[in-house]
Amino acid sequence: MSSLYVTVSTRVSRPQERLTGIPRVEYEIARELVARGGHVLRHDRLLGRFRVGALQAGRNPQPGVKAAPMRAGDTIVVPAIFWRQRQIDDLARKRRAKKIRIGVYVHDIMPIRRPELVSNESGAADFRRFIDAMIDCADWMCVSSRFVEKDLTAYIKQTAKRDIPVHHVPLCSDLKERVEADASPRLRALGLPADGYVLYVSTLNPRKNHTGLYWLWRRLFEELGDATPPLVLAGQRGWNDRDVFDLMSRDREMWGRHIRFVDGPSDAELVHLYRQCAFTVFPSHHEGWGLPITESLSFGKPCVAGDNTSLREAGQGLATHVDELDGPGWLAAIKRLALDAQYRRECTALIAERYQPRTWHDVGEEIARLAGSSA
């Protein structure tokens, strides 16, 4: 019988520390595969190879599980591409010498398609080198959205010398079911009105379009004055965020009043913010999925989102999509949700009726099935 392994690079030092973005997906996929008998592989930098270890001491105190030596037909699942050549080289050696099969979850190829949004030239070049190396050693790949499936398939066809199957495994949101809400002291200090503020959950960086959202809220304030619903930005500061953060925080008329910032919220704080908000926004320029849209819908909250890449997939036809550069369109959509309580109730009722929930259990089951069928 073949064995299943999953690589993990994520490390969490405190149980309450929050994982975001791809590291969070990596952890959740690993947790699900371990629950199905999989073994965790961590890369030992000194030895230059992967070794069986624990999932994570901070979030899972379970010690490392012993595993039999790898053999032909075993599968290694890689939940996110590696950015270090030594890790990829070890995977390639295992595949070549032991006839191990490799499955890779690719979240997007954004640094190739839109490098100006995510990194500098050096980072974009590194990504291309590493994704090419991962493609070269992979037996199959999976992606979160049909958009990325099409994008990655086209890239493989253009650059690789062999065919690789690419499978569609959508992401999920089960934060509502897993975490209890926490109205922490810092959230209470914001004095946010229940069902009276707008939430944007996102790391601050150029791709997430906080600059456009800031100017939109300024225009909203010019039109509505004190009736403007507070905009709550919940997320950590990220790559190249200084310009937009300085722009917003220097605006004393808006910052701390009509725009509030919650730096690095915990999962429990996020649950509280989602439960209490009127609706959410997600004006990102480019995504591989758009998890905050799905999270918003899982809490029954309407969302106004950009109209690009995978965002309509994340919205399940239940979000309002507006071109992220269409200022008047965004203004109209936000004003309607903010000022028309009956319309907002209708949107909420539609979400309750049609939203299709999905859990990490579902994601793990589909990836485990792919690993088993590839043996």
Here the CATH number for the domain that contains residue 115 is: 3.40.50.2000
**Which residue in 290, 292, 271, 266 sits closest to 280, CA to CA?**
292
148 and 182 housed in the same domain: no
140 and 27 housed in the same domain: yes
Range of the domain at 105: 4-172+359-373
Residue 179, Cβ density class (10 Å: 0-12 exposed, 13-18 middle, ≥19 buried): middle
Beta bridge partners of 77: 6, 103
218-241 burial, b if ≥16 CB within 10 A, otherwise e?
bebbeeeeeebbbbbbbbbebeeb
* pLDDT tens per residue, range 218-248: 999 999 999 999 999 999 998 889 999 999 9
Confidence (pLDDT) at 10: 63
Confidence (pLDDT) at 326: 96
123 and 270 housed in the same domain: no
69 and 142 housed in the same domain: yes
366 and 338 housed in the same domain: no
Radius of gyration of the chain (CA): 22
How many domains would you assign to the chain?
2
Confidence (pLDDT) at 68: 73
13 and 77 housed in the same domain: yes
273 and 302 housed in the same domain: yes
114 and 208 housed in the same domain: no
252 and 345 housed in the same domain: yes
134 and 201 housed in the same domain: no
Q: CA-CA distance, 33 to 367, in Å (whole number)? A: 8
228 and 165 housed in the same domain: no
Confidence (pLDDT) at 18: 65
210 and 141 housed in the same domain: no
Residues of the chain with pLDDT under 70: 1, 10-18, 56-67, 374-375
